C-alpha cells in the first residue's frame, strides 16, 4: 500500500506540473497577443483557462481522496495540503492571464504603444519563476525556491521601470492616458503572477524547513 | 472523541472568524488613512498584518493536526481543507490592505484628490462581502454565499465608475496623472479583496453542493 500511495503522489505531482506548464504558457500567449497585436493567442488563453479550471478541481478531489484513503503521516499530509495551496495559486495565475488577454483584445482597437517591449521581459521573468517554483516543489529543492523568491525583486524592479516610463509618457502626451493606465494594470497582473510563484516558493521553503526542524536527524541519516 | 473533534473544529472556526474580522477591519483602516489623510490608521494596518500572519500559521498547523489526529471522514475533511483555502484568501486580503496603506502614506505627501469618496463606498462593500462570506462558511449558508458572489458585480461597477472618473480627471488635468494612477491601483486592490470574498463564497457553495452529490462522487471513485 505504501508503494501505491507513492505512485499516486507521483501522478498527482505530474498533474500539478501540467497545470503549471499550462499557466506559464498562458502568460506567454497573453503577452504575445499584446505585443504582436493579434487576437488568436488571447483566445487560446481563454480556452486554456477551462483546462486549468478542470485540472484544479481534479487535483483538489485527488488530494482529498488520497488523504481520506491513505491517512498519510505528517510529512505527506503537509505535502498534500501544500499541493492544494499551489494548485490554487496556479489557478489564480491563469485568472491573471485572462485579465491580460482581455486588455490585449481591447488595446487591439487602439493605436500601438512603445513601452510594450518591457512587458514581454517582465512576463518572461514571471514565466521562469512559475517553472522554477514548481520544479522546486517537485524536487524538494529549497535553494531553487529561495532563488524564486529573490527573482521577485527583479520583476518588481521591471514593473517600477515600466510604471515610471508609462507615467512620463502619459504626462508628456495625455492622449496616451487610457492606454497607459491599461498597460500599468497589465504590469500589475504580471506582477501578481510572479507573486503567486513567490507564494509557491515560500511554501516549498516552509515545507523543507519544517521537515528539517522536525526530522533533522532522520533526514541526515537518509542523505548519508 | 467525536465530541472532542467537534469542539476543536468550533475553536478553529472561531480563529478563522478572528482572522476575517481583522482582515475586514484592515480594509476600513487602510481606506480611512486614504480618505482622512492620516498616518495612524495605515500604521495600524501594518501591525494587524503581523497578527493575521500569525493567525494564518496557527490555523494551518491546527488543520494539519486535526487531520492527522482525527482522520476525519470526507465531509469534515472537505471542511478542513476549505479552511486552509479560506485562511489563505484572508491572508491575501490583509496583503492588499498593506498595499493600500502604502499608497495612502505616499499620497499624504501630495495634494488631496476628490474621487476618494467612491473608494470608501467600494471598500465598505468589500468589507461586507468578507463578513458575509465567513458567516456563510461558518453557518453552512449557501444562499448567503450566493449573495456574496452577486455582490461582487456591485464592486466591479463601483470600480468601473471610479476608473472612468479618474481617467476623465487625468485627461482634463495631466497634473493629476500620478495620483490618479495610484488611486486606480487602490481601486484594483479593493477589487481584489472583494475577489477573495467571492472565492470564499464559491468555496462555500462548492462544499454545500458537494455534500449533496457526495454519494455520487464516492460511487465514481469506487468505479475508477
Which residues in chain B are contacts of A196 at CB distance < 8 A? none
Least-confidence region, from B3-7, B45-49, B81-85 = B3-7
CA–CA separation, A182 vs B15, rounded Å?
A: 39
Domain contains A196: yes
Which residues of A make CB contacts under 8 Å with B?
A: 60-61, 63-65, 67-68, 71, 73-74, 77-78, 81, 84-85, 88, 167, 170-171, 174, 177-178, 181, 184-185, 188
Nearest C-alpha in A relative to B178 = A167
Q: What pLDDT sits at residue B75?
A: 87
Three-state DSSP at B224 gives coil
User: Which residue bears the cell 486606480?
Assistant: B184
Q: Least CB-CB distance to A77: which of B67, B85, B170?
A: B67
Please list the helix, strand and coil fractions of chain B in percent, rounded to the nearest 5, in that order. Answer: 90, 0, 10
Domain contains A217: no
Q: What pLDDT sits at residue B3?
A: 57
Q: What pLDDT sits at residue A209?
A: 81
Question: Using the beta-carbon criterion (under 8 Å), do B174 and A174 form an inter-chain contact?
Answer: yes
Strand (E) or helix (H) holding B20: helix B2-36
Q: What is the rounded end-to-end Cα distance, in angstroms, of chain A? A: 27
Least-confidence region, from A36-45, A68-77, A174-183, A215-224 = A215-224
Residue A206 has pLDDT above 90, yes or no: no
Domain contains B103: yes
Q: What pLDDT sits at residue B222?
A: 40
Q: Is the dihedral of CA A156, A162, A166, A167 positive or negative?
A: positive
Least-confidence region, from A96-110, B159-173, B198-212 = B198-212
Q: What pLDDT sits at residue A215?
A: 37
What mean pLDDT comes out for the span A177-189?
95
Q: Are B64 and B84 within 8 A, CB to CB?
A: no
Q: What pLDDT sits at residue A3?
A: 57
Question: Using the beta-carbon criterion (under 8 Å), do A174 and B178 form an inter-chain contact?
Answer: no
Which residues in chain B are contacts of A81 at CB distance < 8 A? 60, 63-64, 67, 81, 84
Min distance B140 CA to chain A CA atoms (Å) = 20
Question: Using the beta-carbon criterion (under 8 Å), do A177 and B185 form an inter-chain contact?
Answer: no
* Torsion angle of the four alpha carbons B129, B92, A190, B195, in this order, in degrees rounded to the nearest 10: -10
A70 Cβ contact list (under 8 Å, min separation 6): A1, A5, A8, A76
Min distance B73 CA to chain A CA atoms (Å) = 7
| CA dist list (Å): B179 to A40, A174, A182, B111 | 35, 14, 16, 9
| CA dist list (Å): B220 to A52, A128, B82 | 22, 37, 22
The three grid cell numbers given for residue B212, joined into one nine-digit string: 449533496
Which residues in chain A are contacts of B73 at CB distance < 8 A? 68
Q: Are B141 and B104 within 8 A, CB to CB?
A: no
Nearest Cα residue to B128 out of B155, B103, B106: B155
pTM of the model: 0.87
Min distance A125 CA to chain B CA atoms (Å) = 22
Question: Using the beta-carbon criterion (under 8 Å), do B63 and A81 form an inter-chain contact?
Answer: yes
What mean pLDDT comes out for the span B113-131?
89
What mean pLDDT comes out for the span A67-79?
89
Residue B20 or residue B208, greater confidence: B20
Q: What pLDDT sits at residue B221?
A: 45
Owning domain of residue B77: 4-212
Q: What pLDDT sits at residue B30?
A: 98
What mean pLDDT comes out for the span B74-89?
92
Cα A51–Cα A53–Cα A59 angle in degrees, nearest 5: 100
Residue B123 has pLDDT above 70, yes or no: yes
Question: Using the beta-carbon criterion (under 8 Å), do B77 and A88 form an inter-chain contact?
Answer: no
**Residue A129, Cβ neighbours under 10 Å: how many?**
28
Domain contains B219: no
Tell me which DSSP letter residue A110 carries: S
The pLDDT tens digits for B8-18 are 999 999 999 99
CA–CA separation, A223 vs B81, rounded Å?
A: 32
Domain contains B147: yes
Q: What is the CATH number of the domain that holds B112?
A: 1.20.58.220
The pLDDT tens digits for A75-120 are 899 999 999 999 999 999 999 999 999 999 999 999 988 766 689 9
| pLDDT band at residue B214 using 50, 70 and 90 as cut-offs | very low
Min distance B112 CA to chain A CA atoms (Å) = 19
Residue A74 has pLDDT above 70, yes or no: yes
The pLDDT tens digits for A141-174 are 999 999 999 999 999 999 999 999 999 999 999 9
Please tell me the total count of domains within chain B: 1
Nearest Cα residue to B98 out of B163, B23, B152: B23
| CA dist list (Å): B116 to A168, A170, B36, B189 | 23, 22, 10, 14
Q: Least CB-CB distance to B177: which of A60, A68, A167?
A: A167
A38 Cβ contact list (under 8 Å, min separation 6): A32, A108
Mutate one of B72, B170, B200, B211 to test the A interface: name it (highest A CB count within 10 A): B170
Q: What is the ipTM of this complex?
A: 0.82
Domain contains A76: yes
Q: What is the rounded end-to-end Cα distance, in angstroms, of chain B? A: 33
Give the DSSP per-residue string, A57-79.
HHHHHHHHHHHHHH---HHHHHH
Min distance A40 CA to chain B CA atoms (Å) = 27
What mean pLDDT comes out for the span A204-215?
69
Amino acid at each position: 500500500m505504501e508503494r501505491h500511495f507513492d505512485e499516486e503522489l507521483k501522478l498527482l505531482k505530474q498533474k500539478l506540473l501540467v497545470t503549471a506548464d499550462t499557466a506559464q504558457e498562458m502568460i506567454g500567449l497573453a503577452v504575445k497577443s499584446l505585443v504582436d497585436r493579434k487576437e488568436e493567442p488571447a483566445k487560446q488563453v481563454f480556452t486554456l483557462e477551462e483546462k486549468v479550471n478542470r485540472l484544479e478541481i481534479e487535483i483538489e478531489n485527488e488530494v482529498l481522496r488520497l488523504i481520506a484513503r491513505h491517512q498519510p503521516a505528517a510529512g505527506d499530509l503537509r505535502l498534500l495540503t501544500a499541493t492544494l495551496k499551489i494548485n490554487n495559486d496556479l489557478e489564480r495565475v491563469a485568472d491573471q492571464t485572462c485579465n491580460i488577454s482581455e486588455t490585449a483584445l481591447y488595446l487591439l482597437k487602439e493605436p500601438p504603444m512603445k513601452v510594450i517591449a518591457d512587458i514581454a521581459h517582465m512576463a518572461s521573468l514571471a514565466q521562469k519563476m512559475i517553472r522554477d517554483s514548481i520544479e522546486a516543489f517537485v524536487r524538494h529543492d529549497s535553494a531553487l525556491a529561495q532563488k524564486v523568491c529573490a527573482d521577485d525583486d527583479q520583476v518588481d524592479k521591471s514593473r517600477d521601470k515600466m510604471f515610471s516610463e508609462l507615467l512620463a509618457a502619459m504626462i508628456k502626451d495625455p492622449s496616451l492616458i487610457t492606454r497607459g493606465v491599461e498597460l500599468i494594470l497589465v504590469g500589475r497582473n504580471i506582477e501578481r503572477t510572479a507573486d503567486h510563484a513567490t507564494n509557491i516558493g515560500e511554501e516549498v521553503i516552509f515545507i523543507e524547513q519544517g521537515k528539517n526542524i522536525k526530522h533533522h536527524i532522520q533526514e541526515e541519516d537518509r542523505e548519508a
